[in-house]
Amino acid sequence: MAHEQESEAELDLVELNAELASYSAEELIRWAVERFAPRLVVSSSFGAHSALVLHMVHRVAPNLPILWIDTGYLFPETYRFAHELKERFRLNLQVYAPSLSAAYQEALYGRLWEQGEEGVRRYLQLNKLEPMQRALREHRAQAWIAGLRGDQTEHRRALRKLELQDGRYKIHPILDWDEGRVDEYLHRHSLPYHPLHGEGYRSIGDWHSTLPTLADQDPREGRILGQKRECGLHLPISPEQDASLRSSAL
């Protein structure tokens, strides 16, 4: 049963992470469902290896809402990949887009991603942060599952399987997986990679800021939007940012 009335203070993250450390990815998802559903969601970028976590969720809790942020600048292959996985796993897919379309934004502000760090910051807020915060609020999410891995960025390397971010719990089922283990799972279950993965795109975001990488490069080196490798969705936001996102019409 869900623990809907459970407050943040009631969960001892140190104690729980010690317990959850031995859980398999599917066991952790099952634990999250028992603890937080129906106020539990899953986020997916429909990136290179997204079929893995979606396959696990399909097996454990097929009706969980899958939140997908459509920036309006995704590769055509990403849209087709999302459609393929939605049909294959019968996903409860919930698509959220910016309040202003890509064309509208460019008419007002130009190509924000080409306007230095301040332009990138505004771009991320309009196209990723605000839609995700809106999605979480509309679903009254107490917790969300994300397919982050510790080997992807320095920030993610410091995460635990259960974290508290901006008042919501984050569950990371494959945090301790490496790319080899991911590949093995996908092959074992005959799951597809993103169509661009075979062309060297190992970390896939918007078309204007994603490049293929060589085998000896960090996959996140292909993400060239701004100076950071994190898009912001999985970083805590300040109280000031939160207030802005809640009040903004954008």
Enzyme catalytic residues: 231
Q: Are 102 and 215 spatial neighbours (Cβ–Cβ below 8 Å)?
A: no
| Residues near 35 by beta carbon (within 8 Å), at least 6 away in sequence | 2, 3, 143
Tokens 């019968």 sit at which residue? 90
- CA 127/CA 97 separation, integer angstroms: 7
Work out whether strand 92-96 and strand 143-145 pair parallel, antiparallel, or are unpaired: unpaired
CA atoms within 13 A on the CB side of 8: 11
Report residue 245 as tokens.
């996102």
